Structures are given as structure tokens and as C-alpha cells.
Amino acid sequence: MLELINSLDGLEGERWLMTRWVTGAGGQCAQQAQQYAQQYAQAIGPRSRRRTVWVRRFGLGVAIGLVLGIWGGEASLATSRKAKPEPEPTPAIFLPNPLLQETPDPLLPQPPRPLNATERTQLVATLAVMDAEANALLAAGNAPAAFERWQRVLRLHRALGPLEEVQALGRISEIAWRETETTQVRWIAERLQVLQEEATLAQNVAQLEAIGQAYLQIRDQKLALGVYEPLLAEARQQRNFAQEQATLLTIARLYLDWLDYANAANIYQELLQSVRSYPPTAPKPELTPIAILQQLAYIYQQDRQFQAAIPVLQELITTAQAQQRLEPIPGWLVELADSHQAIAQLEAAALRYQDAYTLAIAQQQFARASDALNKLALLYQSQNQPDAALQVYQVLLDVGQRSYDYYGMMNTYDQIGQIQLLLRAYPQAIGAFQQGLALAQQLRFREDYFSQRIQSVHSGTSQGQTLPAAPPNYP
């Protein structure tokens, strides 16, 4: 080694030493590199001792640097291992449906067999306790634990029979829907679809009806119609008119709940025809022609199909008169007048309002009579017939006195005063507003309004001004 070092001189020898140490020639460590440096110093003599010192310092620095680098690398690796994030939980949409699992439950006999009467009673009691526990968890804000408990409750309901399971699914699905637990709702819907397939194959109508009701509880119109439409077809094929009418009513309500007025009206028309052709043997209030016509009228009015609503309301009134059901007729006459007015049949509207008032006052339905008169007066005002409107308001005051409707009378005097202003009959306008003020003071309501109206008329007439019927801030 010394012979090799002696053959090298100056910087050339230093480069060799550094290269050999850094590359780890012969597998040597930093301590051996220092030995090489000492041997090199002896070989080159005093003329280059400063270079040897530099080499020693450099070798020691490189060694320390490598040790620190190795330690730092290991520490960095350990830190990166510690900082590695935990795997994210599987999203609920990818989780298996717990209601479709066949996991044995210790509360049920193994191997599986039908429960006897005692076991069935015990299971029902246990399910009631578990259901109460789930409700308590939900009330405490622990929805995940509550629905985990309910999942077991639902699986255990299988042992009670498919109908009981469907009813439980529907009940808990409504809770899940109310709590916006969409995953729970989806899982319940999937289980219901499995049961629907089984019930369809078994032609179990009671179970299918229960499944349809459960779909309604989770507000799934499409799945519900997928149950009720085949039931309707089956009922018609078997000429089961009671079943047909009950199913038609359910479908009609389903469309109405979803504001699908066109389809709801069509189904109610079919139901009306069926009920008239085959009256129910067991009377039901919702399956009478009057009840169905009321729903049809309501649907057409909500859908602003006033032309279609008019014949329905006329038929409704005629049917009620034939059955001597006079009490609701004034209200239907007002609705009929409203529909005529909506399509600009104003003369027919005025006649129906008058009919409504006449029949209502004969039955002492003062609120209904006042409603008809108010709408009639406003109709006359819209047609620039102030004198006719004033006559109606005078009748309306009489109705208010008979029914002690002071609030209504106050508003009527206000309307009369405004019409008198339009007619520039200022003394009559002041008189009407003063009557309104007297009632307002009794009611302690709108006193400032009537006082301002009276003062405004006095001021305007004294200055020869034309007064508006209502102030800019008139409510």
C-alpha cells in the first residue's frame, strides 16, 4: 500500500485516497480511511502535511455526513410510514345489504325451522324491546346504532312470516325516510323487491298490497305503481270490482300526491265510471260519486283546467241535490262561479254567486253568504259597475249585522267609501269612512287608517281636489 501511495504525488494522491474511501473500496469504513490518510502522510513527507490534515478533516466530515444521511433517511422513512393515512372506510353505496344476508341469529332455533306458538310469542316480545331500544338510540342522536339495531329486528321478522316482515319494513322505512337515511331506504327497497318477486310468483294479493303500501311509505312512486298496476289488471280480469275500485283509488291518490294532475284525473274518471256501474256492496265514504266528483273538481281547479272543472261541479251539485245534501252546495256554487270568472264567463259567474248567496242565507251559512257577496261585488267593480257593487255591499252589511261580523262590516264600509270617492260623492264617502272608524275603534284595529281617510277627504274637498279612491299605501 505504501509503495502505491509513494508512486502518487500531491493532489493526485489525495484524489486517489478520497475516491477509494468514498466508494468504500475493499468494503472499508471511515476508520480505515483515516489509517490510509496517516500512511499517505508518512509517504509524502513534511512537504504536504497541510494537505494530509485537510484530507483527514474531509474524510471525517464525509463520514459524519454519511452517518447523518443514513440516520436521516431512516427517520424520514419511519416518519413517512407513520404519516401514511389510514384506508378510508368503504362508502355505504358499496356495502353489502345487511337485510339480504342469511346470517344465523342466536334468538332463532338452529337449524332453522318454523316457530311454535310459544317461541313466536317470545320473539314478538323481544322484537318490541329491541324496537324500543332503537327508538331510544335514535332519540339520543345515535342514528347509526339505532338503524343497526333495526336491521337485526327486520332480519328476525322473517321468522314471523313474509307479511309481518313487509309491514315491519314499511314502518321502519318511513322512519329512515324521515331521517333522510338514504342508504337504509335503499336497502329496505331492495329487500321489498325480493319479497315482491316471491309474492308475485305465489299470487299473494295481501302481501303485494302490503308491499305497495311499504313503497308508498318510502315515497317511491315507480316501485309502488309496479305493484298496483298488475293488481289492477288482475282484479279486472277476475271481475273483482271491489278490488278494482280500491286499487284505482290508491293509484289516483298516488298520482295526486305527486301533483300529477293529468294522470290523477284520468284514474278518478275511471273510478267514477266503475263506482256508478258497480256500486260498492260495503259503502265507503271515499268511494261515492260525490266524493269522487269533489276530487275531480279539486284536481281540475289546481291544474287551472277551469273549463273541465265546470261540468264536474255542475254534476256534483246536481248529484247532491238529488240526494238532498244541500249543506255543501253553496260552497260548490262559489267554486263554480270562480271557474266561470276564470274563463271570462262573467254573466254566468254573477248568476252563480247570487245562487250561492241565496242558498247560503236560507241555511244561515252567513260566512258562505258573505263570501259570495264579496266576490260578486268585486266582479261588478272589475266591470265598472259601481252602482251594482254598492247594492251588493248594502246587502253584505245586513249579513254582517245578522252574524255580528264587525270586522267584515268594517271592511265593507271601507269598500263603500272608496266607491263613493270614485263617484265623487264625498259626503257619502266620509259617512262610510266614519262608520268604518266607529267599528275600528271597537275592534282597536285600523283606527289610524280610517282617521287619515276622513281627514284626507275633508282636506281635499276644502281645496277643490279630486281624491283617489285609495291612498298609495293602502293595504
Instruction: Give the model confidence (pLDDT) of 326-385 as tens digits.
Output: 999 999 999 999 999 999 999 999 999 999 999 999 999 999 999 999 999 999 999 999
* Section 225-239 average pLDDT: 95
In terms of Cα–Cα distance, which of 41, 35, 38, 34 is closest to 60?
34
| pLDDT over 60 at 416, yes or no | yes
In three-state secondary structure terms, 461 is helix
CA 59 vs CA 28, 50, 71: distances in Å: 13, 14, 18
Confidence of residue 38 (pLDDT cuts 50, 70, 90): low
* Section 299-304 average pLDDT: 97
The pLDDT value given to residue 95:
85
| pLDDT over 70 at 2, yes or no | no
DSSP state of 5: H
pLDDT in tens, 143-160: 999 999 999 999 999 999
Which range (45-54, 281-290, 450-459) has the least confidence? 45-54
* Section 44-71 average pLDDT: 42
Q: Find how far residue 373's CA is from the centre of its chain.
A: 40
Share of the chain above pLDDT 70, in %: 77
Query: How many whole angstroms separate alpha carbon 268 and alpha carbon 245?
Result: 10
In three-state secondary structure terms, 23 is coil
Please classify residue 407 by burial: count the beta carbons closer than 10 Å to its beta carbon, then call 0-12 exposed, 13-18 middle and 19+ buried.
middle
Q: Are 393 and 409 spatial neighbours (Cβ–Cβ below 8 Å)? A: no
Q: Are 142 and 133 spatial neighbours (Cβ–Cβ below 8 Å)? A: no
Quote the pTM value. 0.73
User: Which alpha helices (H) appear in 98-181, and where do they start and end?
Assistant: 117-139, 143-156, 162-178
What average pLDDT does the structure give for the chain? 85
Q: Are 358 and 400 spatial neighbours (Cβ–Cβ below 8 Å)? A: no
The pLDDT value given to residue 282:
84
The pLDDT value given to residue 400:
96
pLDDT in tens, 64-74: 343 344 344 44
Count of beta carbons in the 10 Å neighbourhood of residue 112: 12
Confidence of residue 459 (pLDDT cuts 50, 70, 90): confident
| pLDDT over 80 at 442, yes or no | yes
pLDDT in tens, 239-259: 999 999 999 999 999 999 999
The pLDDT value given to residue 299:
98
The pLDDT value given to residue 29:
44
Confidence of residue 467 (pLDDT cuts 50, 70, 90): low
**Cβ density class 152-180: b for 16+ within 10 Å, e for less:** bbbbbbbbbebbbbbbbbbebbbbbbeee
Contacts 24+ apart (CB under 8 A), 248-255: 248/274, 249/286, 249/287, 250/212, 251/225, 252/295, 254/216, 254/221, 254/224, 254/225, 254/228
| Helix orientation angle between 205-217 and 241-257, rounded to the nearest 10 degrees | 10
In this structure, what C-alpha cell is assigned to residue 184?
A: 337504509
* Section 195-222 average pLDDT: 94
Length of the chain: 475
Q: How far apart are the first and last CA of the chain?
A: 113
